[in-house]
Amino acid sequence: MQLNRVVITGMGAVSPFGAGVAELLSGLYQNRSAVRYCPEMTAIKGLRSLVAAKVPASVLEIAGKQVARKYRRSMSPMSIYAVLAAAEAMQQAGVGAKECESGRLGVIVGSTLASTVTTEDFFNDFARDHSLERMKTSLFFKIMNHTCAANIAQTFSIKGRILAPAAACATGSQSIGYGYEMIATGHQEMLLCGGADEYHPLTSATFDVMHAASIAYNDDPQHTPRPFSAQRDGMVCGEGSGLLLLESLPSALKRGASILGEVVGFATLTDSGNIANPDSKIMVECMNLALNNAHINAVQVGYINAHATATEQGDIAESHAIATVFSDQTPVSSLKGHLGHTLAASGALETIATIDMQHTGHIVPTLHLTEIDSRCAPLNYVREVASSVELSGNKPIDYALKNSFALGGVNTSLVLRRYSSD
């Protein structure tokens, strides 16, 4: 079976740095932290982690209002983020009403949960008198699991396939991977792929209760989370949406679209040893499968964008897995220090950044990595104060690998190639 090459022709982002890919990249390249102290969370009993990387409120107040009420009524913030990201990706790709109506474009966008904010609002009201008489028609459309994908499709009248993977922190990467496979096998020509999530304290509490959330930096939020660092104390939750428009190479060439990058490998598998604790050996297996899928060797990979959320178990396991598969010269960094963990959006937002890094050759370092945890494997950790060996020398990076590993035992690895026509 002849497989299509799968390229990226559009990217869209809503991140804790604001709306747009430019805002995302600017925050990353300037090594800014989007993490903030959230004083309102002091009112929540038992929550120790009071920091988060939220999307600026102005995004909903200004950009969100550009979405017509007819469509916005069925959206919680995560769907608004996703629709804004979709609009940006489609505009960059030059995809409009013709492609949306054609059935050749589909949507694969998931989230960790549907809208917890909406669910909380509903049950707060319901608990008053157990009455459903105040329930509005839009409730279901905000709390259904495919809320982001469905709202994107409705807003732009997209007629192709629709899918909403739910794999927590691996959702965005799984969406891209499944989109890559569907386009490679010819089932769809174009797919908007990625993930979205909206912040709710429940997310921080989920990690807090497992002793995996950052709790020691409430007074110093700009210095947490700290992936791979000896001073790390856990992850910081964030929100946003990242979407990539994947397209078959023949379709992109026929349309004359600018090609931003290429997806050449994908693997996803289950770590069924423990629902919460990652197994380094399964991570190794996932990365090797992705390399095999891409038909490349580990030495060809010029950069690894790690999942590394700044949890002790995750960072150490991933570092040893990377050390098993790759040489200690391959540059590695995590973007969680800048963005926090944007959960279902993270795989896609970090893939967008990785694709840009492949072009510029400028690797965004891991923030706050002053002292590497001695229990992490020796790797070429790219840090803010970088030695020559830690940088790629600003040369374009032909191949990059993006990891995402989720609670529930969902592992994914993507292999991305800097596009060239040969």
- Which residues lie near other proteins (CB under 8 A)? 69-70, 73, 133-138
Give every CB contact of residue 319 below 8 A, 6+ residues apart in sequence.
Answer: 228, 306, 308, 332, 376, 377, 379
What is the smallest separation between the CB atom of 145 and other proteins, expressed in angstroms? 20
**What ranges make up the beta strands (E) of 249-321?**
261-270, 301-305
Tokens of 90: 């489609």
Nearer to other proteins, 129 or 422 (CB): 129
Nearer to other proteins, 147 or 334 (CB): 147
CA–CA dist 200, 408 (Å, integer) = 20
CA–CA dist 139, 123 (Å, integer) = 11
Nearer to other proteins, 137 or 421 (CB): 137
What is the smallest separation between the CB atom of 70 and other proteins, expressed in angstroms? 7
Reduce the DSSP state of residue 16 to 3 states and report it: coil
Cβ-contact 197, 54 below 8 angstroms? no
CA–CA dist 73, 68 (Å, integer) = 9
Tokens of 4: 């299509």
Nearer to other proteins, 29 or 71 (CB): 71
Strands 36-37 and 51-52 come out as antiparallel
Nearer to other proteins, 134 or 187 (CB): 134
Tokens of 377: 């494997």
Nearer to other proteins, 54 or 72 (CB): 72
Tokens of 290: 């992705």
What is the smallest separation between the CB atom of 154 and other proteins, expressed in angstroms? 12
Nearer to other proteins, 17 or 122 (CB): 122
What is the smallest separation between the CB atom of 136 and other proteins, expressed in angstroms? 5
What is the smallest separation between the CB atom of 39 and other proteins, expressed in angstroms? 29
Cβ-contact 26, 43 below 8 angstroms? no
What is the smallest separation between the CB atom of 239 and other proteins, expressed in angstroms? 24
What is the smallest separation between the CB atom of 138 and other proteins, expressed in angstroms? 7
CA–CA dist 306, 404 (Å, integer) = 7
